[in-house]
Amino acid sequence: MIAGVAVLSVLLAATQSIPWRTVHHGIERAEFVASSRGPLAKVKVVVLRLEPSQVTLALAARSRDEGLRGAWTIDSLASEALAAFNGGQFVEGAPWGWFVRDGVEHQPPGSGPLAMAIVVDSGGRVALLTPDEVKAARGRVREAMQSYPTLLVGGGLPEPLRAVGRGVDIGHRDARLAIGMDAHGRILVALTRFIGVAGHGSSFPYGPTLPEMAELMRRLGAVRAVGLDGGLSSQLAVREPDGTLARHPNWRMVPVGVEVVRRQALP
Protein backbone atom coordinates (compact mmCIF):
# COMPACT_ATOMS: atom_id res chain seq x y z
CA MET A 1 0.00 0.00 0.00
CA ILE A 2 1.26 3.50 -0.83
CA ALA A 3 2.35 5.43 2.24
CA GLY A 4 -0.28 7.83 3.53
CA VAL A 5 -3.18 6.14 1.73
CA ALA A 6 -5.42 4.44 4.23
CA VAL A 7 -8.45 3.57 2.15
CA LEU A 8 -7.15 2.23 -1.15
CA SER A 9 -8.38 -1.24 -0.28
CA VAL A 10 -11.96 0.03 -0.46
CA LEU A 11 -11.52 2.98 -2.82
CA LEU A 12 -13.59 2.47 -5.93
CA ALA A 13 -15.14 -0.70 -4.61
CA ALA A 14 -18.31 0.33 -6.40
CA THR A 15 -16.56 0.77 -9.74
CA GLN A 16 -15.89 -2.85 -10.55
CA SER A 17 -18.72 -2.22 -12.98
CA ILE A 18 -18.58 1.51 -13.69
CA PRO A 19 -22.09 2.80 -14.53
CA TRP A 20 -21.19 4.50 -17.81
CA ARG A 21 -24.02 6.24 -19.62
CA THR A 22 -23.74 7.70 -23.11
CA VAL A 23 -24.89 11.31 -23.20
CA HIS A 24 -23.61 12.24 -26.69
CA HIS A 25 -21.65 10.53 -29.43
CA GLY A 26 -18.17 10.43 -27.96
CA ILE A 27 -19.13 11.35 -24.39
CA GLU A 28 -19.90 8.92 -21.59
CA ARG A 29 -20.70 9.91 -18.03
CA ALA A 30 -20.65 8.02 -14.74
CA GLU A 31 -21.32 8.86 -11.10
CA PHE A 32 -20.57 6.74 -8.05
CA VAL A 33 -19.52 6.95 -4.41
CA ALA A 34 -15.75 6.72 -4.02
CA SER A 35 -15.70 4.19 -1.17
CA SER A 36 -18.02 1.87 0.68
CA ARG A 37 -16.60 3.01 4.02
CA GLY A 38 -13.94 5.21 5.54
CA PRO A 39 -13.04 8.85 4.75
CA LEU A 40 -14.30 8.65 1.17
CA ALA A 41 -17.70 7.14 1.91
CA LYS A 42 -19.17 10.65 1.72
CA VAL A 43 -17.44 11.56 -1.53
CA LYS A 44 -19.10 11.28 -4.93
CA VAL A 45 -17.11 10.97 -8.15
CA VAL A 46 -18.38 12.40 -11.44
CA VAL A 47 -16.48 11.12 -14.49
CA LEU A 48 -16.53 11.94 -18.18
CA ARG A 49 -14.93 9.60 -20.73
CA LEU A 50 -14.33 11.28 -24.08
CA GLU A 51 -13.73 9.47 -27.37
CA PRO A 52 -10.96 11.34 -29.25
CA SER A 53 -12.32 10.47 -32.70
CA GLN A 54 -15.57 12.30 -31.83
CA VAL A 55 -14.71 15.23 -29.57
CA THR A 56 -11.78 17.45 -28.65
CA LEU A 57 -10.91 20.18 -26.18
CA ALA A 58 -10.87 23.96 -26.56
CA LEU A 59 -9.62 26.53 -24.06
CA ALA A 60 -11.67 29.54 -23.02
CA ALA A 61 -10.11 32.48 -21.15
CA ARG A 62 -12.01 35.13 -19.20
CA SER A 63 -10.77 37.67 -16.68
CA ARG A 64 -12.02 40.79 -14.93
CA ASP A 65 -10.65 43.75 -12.96
CA GLU A 66 -8.07 44.53 -15.66
CA GLY A 67 -7.04 40.89 -15.87
CA LEU A 68 -6.27 40.47 -12.19
CA ARG A 69 -9.00 37.95 -11.44
CA GLY A 70 -10.56 35.08 -13.30
CA ALA A 71 -14.12 35.36 -14.61
CA TRP A 72 -14.83 31.92 -16.13
CA THR A 73 -17.32 29.45 -14.68
CA ILE A 74 -19.17 26.48 -16.15
CA ASP A 75 -22.02 28.86 -16.94
CA SER A 76 -19.70 30.60 -19.42
CA LEU A 77 -19.53 27.61 -21.75
CA ALA A 78 -20.23 28.29 -25.41
CA SER A 79 -23.53 27.19 -26.92
CA GLU A 80 -21.78 24.57 -29.07
CA ALA A 81 -19.90 23.06 -26.13
CA LEU A 82 -21.09 19.67 -24.89
CA ALA A 83 -19.27 19.79 -21.55
CA ALA A 84 -16.89 22.03 -19.66
CA PHE A 85 -14.63 22.06 -16.63
CA ASN A 86 -12.13 24.47 -15.10
CA GLY A 87 -8.47 24.59 -16.08
CA GLY A 88 -5.27 24.31 -14.09
CA GLN A 89 -3.70 26.40 -11.36
CA PHE A 90 -3.43 30.13 -11.85
CA VAL A 91 -1.72 33.23 -10.46
CA GLU A 92 -4.19 36.06 -9.89
CA GLY A 93 -6.01 36.39 -13.23
CA ALA A 94 -3.60 34.42 -15.40
CA PRO A 95 -3.04 30.68 -15.88
CA TRP A 96 0.14 29.19 -14.51
CA GLY A 97 2.75 28.08 -17.06
CA TRP A 98 2.45 27.35 -20.75
CA PHE A 99 -0.64 28.78 -22.40
CA VAL A 100 -1.50 28.60 -26.12
CA ARG A 101 -4.79 29.52 -27.79
CA ASP A 102 -5.56 29.28 -31.50
CA GLY A 103 -1.89 28.56 -32.20
CA VAL A 104 -0.62 31.70 -30.42
CA GLU A 105 1.66 31.20 -27.42
CA HIS A 106 0.63 33.70 -24.75
CA GLN A 107 2.90 32.35 -22.01
CA PRO A 108 6.04 30.16 -22.14
CA PRO A 109 6.19 26.81 -20.36
CA GLY A 110 6.55 26.84 -16.61
CA SER A 111 9.11 24.61 -14.91
CA GLY A 112 8.55 21.95 -12.32
CA PRO A 113 9.08 18.17 -12.08
CA LEU A 114 5.38 17.53 -11.47
CA ALA A 115 4.07 19.81 -14.22
CA MET A 116 2.18 18.29 -17.14
CA ALA A 117 0.81 19.95 -20.26
CA ILE A 118 -2.57 19.32 -21.86
CA VAL A 119 -2.21 20.00 -25.60
CA VAL A 120 -4.42 19.89 -28.68
CA ASP A 121 -2.79 19.77 -32.12
CA SER A 122 -4.09 21.29 -35.35
CA GLY A 123 -6.09 18.14 -36.11
CA GLY A 124 -7.84 18.13 -32.73
CA ARG A 125 -5.74 15.34 -31.20
CA VAL A 126 -5.30 15.66 -27.43
CA ALA A 127 -2.19 14.62 -25.52
CA LEU A 128 -0.71 14.96 -22.06
CA LEU A 129 2.97 15.86 -22.12
CA THR A 130 5.69 15.64 -19.49
CA PRO A 131 8.12 18.56 -19.09
CA ASP A 132 10.70 16.74 -21.23
CA GLU A 133 8.18 16.44 -24.07
CA VAL A 134 7.01 20.05 -24.09
CA LYS A 135 10.03 21.52 -25.89
CA ALA A 136 9.42 19.52 -29.07
CA ALA A 137 5.74 20.50 -29.06
CA ARG A 138 6.21 24.27 -28.90
CA GLY A 139 5.09 25.95 -32.08
CA ARG A 140 3.21 22.82 -33.17
CA VAL A 141 0.03 22.92 -31.08
CA ARG A 142 -3.25 24.75 -31.40
CA GLU A 143 -4.11 24.78 -27.68
CA ALA A 144 -2.00 24.15 -24.60
CA MET A 145 -2.05 24.70 -20.87
CA GLN A 146 -0.03 23.34 -17.99
CA SER A 147 -1.08 22.14 -14.59
CA TYR A 148 0.28 20.23 -11.61
CA PRO A 149 0.79 17.93 -9.87
CA THR A 150 1.29 15.00 -12.19
CA LEU A 151 -0.66 12.06 -10.77
CA LEU A 152 0.30 9.25 -13.14
CA VAL A 153 3.02 8.59 -15.70
CA GLY A 154 3.21 5.19 -17.33
CA GLY A 155 0.40 4.03 -15.08
CA GLY A 156 2.38 4.69 -11.91
CA LEU A 157 2.60 7.45 -9.31
CA PRO A 158 5.57 9.86 -9.52
CA GLU A 159 8.06 9.47 -6.68
CA PRO A 160 6.97 12.58 -4.70
CA LEU A 161 3.48 11.09 -4.29
CA ARG A 162 4.74 7.74 -3.03
CA ALA A 163 5.87 8.68 0.47
CA VAL A 164 5.76 11.45 3.05
CA GLY A 165 8.59 13.99 3.06
CA ARG A 166 9.22 14.27 -0.67
CA GLY A 167 8.01 17.84 -1.10
CA VAL A 168 4.29 17.19 -1.58
CA ASP A 169 1.58 17.12 1.09
CA ILE A 170 0.10 13.71 0.39
CA GLY A 171 -2.17 13.67 3.44
CA HIS A 172 -4.27 16.73 2.68
CA ARG A 173 -7.89 16.08 1.68
CA ASP A 174 -9.63 18.39 -0.77
CA ALA A 175 -12.17 18.54 -3.57
CA ARG A 176 -10.30 17.33 -6.66
CA LEU A 177 -10.46 17.61 -10.43
CA ALA A 178 -8.13 15.68 -12.72
CA ILE A 179 -7.69 14.88 -16.39
CA GLY A 180 -6.08 11.73 -17.75
CA MET A 181 -5.76 9.52 -20.79
CA ASP A 182 -6.11 5.78 -21.03
CA ALA A 183 -4.19 3.32 -23.19
CA HIS A 184 -6.77 3.76 -25.98
CA GLY A 185 -6.28 7.53 -26.11
CA ARG A 186 -9.62 8.26 -24.44
CA ILE A 187 -9.77 11.33 -22.22
CA LEU A 188 -10.90 10.90 -18.63
CA VAL A 189 -12.08 13.83 -16.50
CA ALA A 190 -12.92 13.14 -12.86
CA LEU A 191 -14.44 15.52 -10.32
CA THR A 192 -15.00 14.72 -6.65
CA ARG A 193 -17.80 16.15 -4.56
CA PHE A 194 -18.51 15.91 -0.84
CA ILE A 195 -21.96 14.42 -0.25
CA GLY A 196 -23.62 16.88 2.08
CA VAL A 197 -26.60 16.32 4.34
CA ALA A 198 -29.89 16.62 2.42
CA GLY A 199 -28.01 17.91 -0.60
CA HIS A 200 -26.27 20.74 1.26
CA GLY A 201 -22.50 21.19 1.49
CA SER A 202 -21.61 19.66 -1.88
CA SER A 203 -19.00 22.35 -2.53
CA PHE A 204 -17.29 21.78 0.83
CA PRO A 205 -13.57 21.29 -0.01
CA TYR A 206 -13.17 17.74 1.26
CA GLY A 207 -12.23 14.66 -0.72
CA PRO A 208 -9.32 12.43 -1.72
CA THR A 209 -5.67 12.95 -0.97
CA LEU A 210 -3.40 13.30 -4.01
CA PRO A 211 -2.32 9.63 -3.91
CA GLU A 212 -5.96 8.58 -3.63
CA MET A 213 -6.87 10.76 -6.60
CA ALA A 214 -4.03 9.18 -8.55
CA GLU A 215 -5.35 5.74 -7.65
CA LEU A 216 -8.84 6.79 -8.67
CA MET A 217 -7.56 7.84 -12.10
CA ARG A 218 -5.55 4.63 -12.44
CA ARG A 219 -8.55 2.46 -11.64
CA LEU A 220 -10.57 4.39 -14.20
CA GLY A 221 -7.98 3.28 -16.73
CA ALA A 222 -5.68 6.30 -16.97
CA VAL A 223 -2.01 5.78 -17.76
CA ARG A 224 -1.22 9.50 -17.58
CA ALA A 225 -3.04 12.01 -15.39
CA VAL A 226 -2.60 15.43 -13.86
CA GLY A 227 -4.53 17.41 -11.30
CA LEU A 228 -6.36 20.55 -12.37
CA ASP A 229 -7.28 23.35 -9.98
CA GLY A 230 -9.28 21.80 -7.17
CA GLY A 231 -10.81 23.08 -3.96
CA LEU A 232 -13.30 25.89 -4.50
CA SER A 233 -12.33 26.15 -8.19
CA SER A 234 -13.29 22.62 -9.19
CA GLN A 235 -16.41 22.62 -11.39
CA LEU A 236 -17.86 20.62 -14.24
CA ALA A 237 -20.94 20.64 -16.45
CA VAL A 238 -22.27 18.40 -19.21
CA ARG A 239 -25.24 18.83 -21.54
CA GLU A 240 -27.78 16.07 -21.28
CA PRO A 241 -29.32 14.63 -24.48
CA ASP A 242 -32.39 16.85 -23.97
CA GLY A 243 -30.20 19.96 -23.87
CA THR A 244 -30.41 20.61 -20.14
CA LEU A 245 -27.18 21.29 -18.31
CA ALA A 246 -26.10 18.99 -15.50
CA ARG A 247 -24.07 21.38 -13.35
CA HIS A 248 -21.52 20.82 -10.62
CA PRO A 249 -20.70 24.45 -9.79
CA ASN A 250 -18.36 26.00 -7.26
CA TRP A 251 -17.62 29.31 -5.59
CA ARG A 252 -14.51 30.55 -7.38
CA MET A 253 -14.28 32.07 -10.85
CA VAL A 254 -11.14 31.00 -12.74
CA PRO A 255 -9.20 32.48 -15.67
CA VAL A 256 -9.34 29.41 -17.92
CA GLY A 257 -12.02 26.88 -18.72
CA VAL A 258 -11.85 23.77 -20.88
CA GLU A 259 -14.73 23.06 -23.24
CA VAL A 260 -15.55 19.76 -24.91
CA VAL A 261 -16.57 20.34 -28.51
CA ARG A 262 -17.22 18.27 -31.63
CA ARG A 263 -14.04 17.38 -33.45
CA GLN A 264 -13.81 18.50 -37.06
CA ALA A 265 -12.90 15.93 -39.71
CA LEU A 266 -9.17 15.46 -40.02
CA PRO A 267 -7.55 16.75 -43.24
Per-residue model confidence as pLDDT tens digits over 223-264: 999 999 999 999 999 999 999 999 999 999 999 999 999 987
Measure the CA–CA gap between 77 and 238, rounded to whole angstroms: 10
| Nearest C-alpha neighbor of 130 from the set 117, 143, 148, 111 | 117
> Coil, strand, or helix at residue 141?
strand
Give the DSSP per-residue string, 6-69: S-TTTBTGGGTT---EEEETTEEEEEEESBSSSTTTTEEEEEEEE-TTTEEEEEEE-EETTTTE
Residues β-bridged to residue 224: 181
pTM: 0.93
> pLDDT tens-digit profile of 115-173?
999 999 999 999 999 999 999 999 999 999 999 999 999 999 999 999 999 999 999 99
Q: In this model, does residue 17 exceed pLDDT 90?
A: no
> Coil, strand, or helix at residue 259?
strand
Beta carbons within 8 Å of 179's beta carbon, 6+ residues apart? 118, 128, 147, 187, 188, 189, 225, 226, 228, 258
Contact 192, 175 (CB under 8 A): yes
What pLDDT band is residue 200 in, cutting at 50, 70 and 90?
A: low
Give the angle 38-178-49 at the CA atoms, nearest 5°.
100
Biggest CA-to-CA distance, the chain: 51
pLDDT, position 35: 87
Measure the CA–CA gap between 17 and 78, rounded to whole angstroms: 33
pLDDT, position 156: 96
Domain ranges of the chain: 18-262
Give the angle 58-62-66 at the CA atoms, nearest 5°.
150
What pLDDT band is residue 267 in, cutting at 50, 70 and 90?
A: very low
pLDDT, position 14: 41
Mean pLDDT for the chain overall: 91
CA 24, distance to chain mean position in Å, is: 19
